Amino acid sequence: MNVIRTIMNAIPEKQKEVLQTLLSLVVSPGKGKGCRRYGIYTDVEDSNVFSLISEWETRQHLDQYVRSDGFSVLLGIKSLLIEPMEIQILTILDAEGMDAVNAVRKKN
């Protein structure tokens, strides 16, 4: 699985504009072939800090998204941010679920 996480700290007066832009990207029909999940999250302590997290089936799908017009729109909101956005691209080779949590909890 491939994940891209984008963290943005909006100028307080531009917070709604940033959110509207992010929402337009989520509902976009062209958000991407191979997209498993796409979510917008806000920091519980600072409503001006957003994380956009998307999961992709393959690195090729993620790369196609990064080259897309939608991602260009995302990069275009930099003038609405207090500091440069932080982008993390993660490749997850293995993921465990609730069975792993239950196994760890039983060890205690």
What is the CATH number for 56?
A: 3.30.70.100
- Report pLDDT for 94: 84
Rounded Cα distance between 86 and 19, Å, is 16
- CB neighbours (10 Å) of residue 6? 19
Confidence (pLDDT) at 44: 96
Q: Could you read off the pLDDT tens digit of each residue along the chain, which spans 108 residues?
A: 899 999 999 999 999 999 999 998 875 545 568 998 889 999 999 999 999 999 999 999 999 999 988 899 999 999 999 999 999 999 988 888 899 898 889 976
Dist CA 26 CA 104 (whole Å): 35
If one counts the domains in the chain, the total is 1
Quote the pLDDT of residue 96. 85
Q: Is 12 helix (H, G, I), strand (E, B) or coil?
A: helix
Residue 83 sits in which domain range? 2-106
Rounded Cα distance, 42 and 7, in Å: 10
Q: What is the pTM of this model?
A: 0.83
Give how far the C-alpha of residue 84 lies from the chain's centroid of Cα atoms, to the nearest Å: 15
**pLDDT for the residue 29:** 47
CA dihedral 21, 26, 28, 31 (to 10 degrees): 120
pLDDT at 108: 65
The pLDDT value recorded for residue 93 is 86
Q: How far apart are CA 79 and CA 66, in angstroms?
A: 19
